Amino acid sequence: LYPKQMEGNSTLLERGNCRAKGGSPGFKVAILGVAGGIGQPLSMLMKMNPLVSVLHLYDVANTPGVTSDISHMDTGAVVRGFLGPQQLENALTRMDLVIIPAGVPRKLGMTRDDLFNINAGIVKTLCEGIAKCCPKAIVNVISNPVNSTVPIAAEVFKKAGTYDPKRLLGVTMLDVVRANTFVAEVLGLDPREVDVPVVGGHAGINPPCSFTSEEAAFLTSRIQNGGTEVVEAKAGAGSATLSMAYAAVKFADACLQGLIGDVNVIRCTFVDSVVTELPFFASKVRLGRNGIEEVYALGPVNEFERTGLEMAKKELAASIEKGVSFAAK
Ligand code: NAD
Ligand code: LMR
């Protein structure tokens, strides 16, 4: 019955009532890549978000099962499933927020850049759909390598004449989530009381505290290699999915909080930037009704951080350039 009978008629997979509960405005959110390790828990968590009134679930495989499953949850959002490229435009039309976890994950021994050849094309195609069907949507890019896929998305939007740097955000929230957890472990704190901004490998901390140089080196390395720690533990079964879905929902929720006009919604994200000489950089931004309202400067950095920053910038420049050249082809 699916997807043939679904074409041009999404009501078969449309479930739930049409308004977010509790009088909230209710945003329309699309997730692209819902059948994957991140996509499934991310879809579940977004279905639980009271700010979401409509949830569009898209993948090139296995959308019906995920959609049916998620649609049984008794929360307010209407759930609709879309399978395959011929349904991409319907999935994207009138969306306020699009989250992209589509693409292959790392396996043992691979770098994120090894994913470029497959994921660059996937992100490019999906962003062409966004430019056509929901050019004003906020876009959260999760697919790796984020340092290249965000520049690819920007180039696609520029070509289509729809680029708004305030609305394109690379999701680096998992770095922050990990940093909060690892720092709390070292300092014996509750992770919920820790807020570590991860800025191009640079970390600071609140509440005020200090680290020995050994602790700083240990934490920096663990945060930078958190992804590999999970890839190795999963031993061939992919990379972080559950913590990523958690981080993605934290970040998407912040974007929606900004859209409804909450003040002081500040998160780290990889964005179009003048903070350094690079065209994109991850730093703290303030989110609001138009997406990014303000990108914050780095503030003072110590010698250890300056060295890390210079190393990170070299690698970043190459990844950004690789994405831009790919999209220009
Ligand atoms: P996965 O293989 O479990 O799932 C990927 C999903 O994407 C699959 O369901 C697949 O069918 C779908 N897909 C493939 N091509 C598609 C297309 N053209 N359109 C729509 N969907 C498509 O992978 P995963 O573990 O969920 O990871 C997904 C991506 O997220 C990877 O690139 C991974 O490296 C990245 N990731 C990023 C972060 C981050 O911090 N930004 C963290 C973890 C993983
Ligand atoms: C992560 O940091 O967990 C992700 O970027 C996935 C990976 O490949 O490490």
Task: Say how many C-beta atoms besides its own lie within 10 A of residue 175's C-beta.
Answer: 24
Relative to the alpha carbon of 103, which ligand is closest? 1
Atom 3 (ligand 2) nearest CA: 227
Two structure tokens written together for 322: 């690789």
For residue 237, report the distance from its CA to the centre of ligand 1, in Å: 13
Relative to the alpha carbon of 107, which ligand is closest? 2
User: Which segment of 3-17, 92-106, 286-300 scores lowest on mean pLDDT?
Assistant: 3-17
**Mean pLDDT of the region 223-239:** 93
CA distance 287 to 217: 31
Q: Tell me which residues are annotated as active site.
A: 202
> Residue 191 is which amino acid?
P
Report DSSP state, residue 8: T
Confidence band of 25 (pLDDT split at 50, 70, 90): low
User: Before 145, cis peptide (omega within 30)?
Assistant: yes
For residue 252, report the distance from its CA to the centre of ligand 2, in Å: 18
Site of tokens 């495989």: 61
Task: Say how many C-beta atoms besides its own lie within 10 A of residue 299's C-beta.
Answer: 11
pLDDT in tens, 250-292: 999 999 999 999 999 999 999 999 999 999 999 999 999 999 9
For residue 325, report the distance from its CA to the centre of ligand 1, in Å: 22
Two structure tokens written together for 50: 């009271």
Specify the 3-state DSSP secondary structure of 319: helix
**pTM of full prediction above 0.80:** yes
In the predicted structure, residue 306 carries a pLDDT above the cut 50: yes
Confidence band of 86 (pLDDT split at 50, 70, 90): very high
pLDDT in tens, 62-78: 999 999 999 999 999 99
